Structure 1
Amino acid sequence: MLPPIMHLHLEAERNALRWSIERMIQEVRSHQPGGCLMAQYLAHMLLFLQALRIHLAKDHPGTGWFYAFADKHLSSANRAIHAEPAKNWTLAELGETAGMSRSVFAERFKASVGETPIEYLSRWRMLLACDRLEKGDDPISVVAPALGYQSESAFSKAFKRVIGCSPRQYRGQGNSATETRPAP
């Protein structure tokens, strides 16, 4: 989603990337244990994240979850959803968290993310459920309420709608399960 070439117009942008590159060079030249690995991680973290921040800071219209995190109002609602996925969120509460009316929030969220806040919440819960089903052995009766579902059957129905199979089938797929997982 990033452009192939980005022009750094601001001195602060150039300084941040210059610092990142200089730090990577120091790591490689220091011959410290793990220096090459540190340089590799710095390249991924610093350069990519800096490029992403610069891109998002420019007023580019775009659709997707990271555009919502670039919006100061929507990001507070997204952080709340991510912090408390099991909470029974309403549009009014999320709008209030974002400092907007319910209707303005819902419209802006949909325009920015490409889905409604409740659809996003549901998909986020299912991503968390997929992770728990892949990595843990908690029964579905434990996973469901931990993600905000009042019953195992409500959770299973939502899971099947979003993922395309039941939680039990998903767990039984083992390592091939990640192919079914929805994108963030």
Structure 2
Amino acid sequence: MNAPDAWSPVDPLGEALHSLRMSGAFYCRSEFTAPWGLALPAMPHSLMLHVVTAGECWLQIEGHEPLLLQPFDLLMVPHGLGHTLVSRPGTLATPLFDLPRDYSAERYEVIRQGGGGAATGLVCSAVRFDHPAAHRLISLLPALIHIRNAQSQPNGVHTEWIRSTLQFVAAEARDLRPGGETVITRLADVLVIQVIRTWIERDPAAQSGWLGALQDRQIGRAIAQIHREPARAWTLASMAQVAAMSRSAFAARFNELVGEPAMHYLARWRMQVALTWLREGDRAIADMAEQLGYQSEAAFSRAFKRVMGIAPSAARHGSEAAPK
């Protein structure tokens, strides 16, 4: 396959964001009255999102000071760390799955708790991501992302967008119109992407490493092409051609930005794609080998174990892969 025109339009970062296709663990609307407390367990490989639609509450999470959340605050816990939400610091928190709930839909719940005092409304969700680019992106996020009172932030396109979406979520949670749970779950998913976009634009940490490489005009182009065509018989020279750079300049620039050689990145990317396929279903390992550019199942299996630390069969049956 020929390399694309070196200056054809491409948006590697946009493609990574597009990979944030979510599968929901749960969504819920909570109606609390003080005193109340909710303990959310750790949910590995999940991202949790909380939107305060009315009243206020406190977040408590190990390693951080208690954080006050007020109306139209939005809090993201990207790595599924266990935490509590309480009416006041020190309030006893009931484990999430010990609370009675009403099921409006298969993955949408309504939780009510409290002693009759001041009211707090929350919309919460926990979502998972299947695409390897999504896993890589989520792994780079901080432990907490807090957007404080989006209604009072300075005007701007992105802040205004989040503000309007939060208002819509709050209205749906308040009015309980037919189909409200569907609207809320869809908007929660969109909010996740918008918050990550905002973090990428504002946090200096997002301008270096893998994310910085995606935003580099030439290296980002090569990474995007690797993601699209993992089975291609890539060489350092062919990657450099996609980036419209010399072989030596490309190798040095890729290593500088990404933190590993380009051919190592290619091998890890192929194995991350394979890991996703293994967890998704019963695709034959021989088919995976062919689709990822390996000449035999044995060659693929050796590469998988070298990169991921376990055999493909073990990964399929739920053992944790640990990339080397």
- TM-score, structure 2 length as denominator? 0.46
* Structure-to-structure mapping, 1:27-176, within 5 angstroms: 27-29=172-174, 31-46=176-191, 48-58=192-202, 60=204, 61-64=207-210, 66-171=211-316, 174=317, 176=318
**1:49 maps to amino acid:** I
Kindly provide the CA deviation profile for residues 79-107 of structure 1, in whole angstroms up to 9, marking residues without a partner as x.
21121111112223223323433333333
| Aligned-pair CA distance for 1:40 | 4.2
Contact 2:221 2:242 in 1 (8 A): yes
- In terms of Rg, which structure is larger? 2
Contact 1:130 1:181 in 2 (8 A): no
Contact 2:309 2:322 in 1 (8 A): no
Deviates more, 1:87-96 or 1:7-16: 7-16
Once residues 24 and 9 of structure 1 are traced to their aligned partners in structure 2, the CA distance between those partners, rounded to angstroms, is 21
Contact 1:126 1:163 in 2 (8 A): yes
**1:78 maps to amino acid:** I
Contact 1:149 1:155 in 2 (8 A): yes
RMSD: 3.1
Contact 2:290 2:296 in 1 (8 A): yes
Once residues 185 and 213 of structure 2 are traced to their aligned partners in structure 1, the CA distance between those partners, rounded to angstroms, is 28
Number of residues of Structure 1 aligned to a counterpart in Structure 2: 177
Kindly provide the CA deviation profile for residues 158-184 of structure 1, in whole angstroms up to 9, marking residues without a partner as x.
11101112223433xx1x23x21549x
The higher-RCO structure (CA 8 Å, 6+ apart) is 2
SS class of match (1:180): coil
Structure 1, gaps ≥5 residues long: none
From the superposition, tell whether residues 108 and 170 of structure 1 become closer, same or farther in structure 2 (CA, over 3 Å). same
From the superposition, tell whether residues 40 and 114 of structure 1 become closer, same or farther in structure 2 (CA, over 3 Å). farther
SS class of match (1:86): coil
SS class of match (1:130): helix
From the superposition, tell whether residues 71 and 39 of structure 1 become closer, same or farther in structure 2 (CA, over 3 Å). farther
SS class of match (1:148): coil
- TM-score, structure 1 length as denominator? 0.75
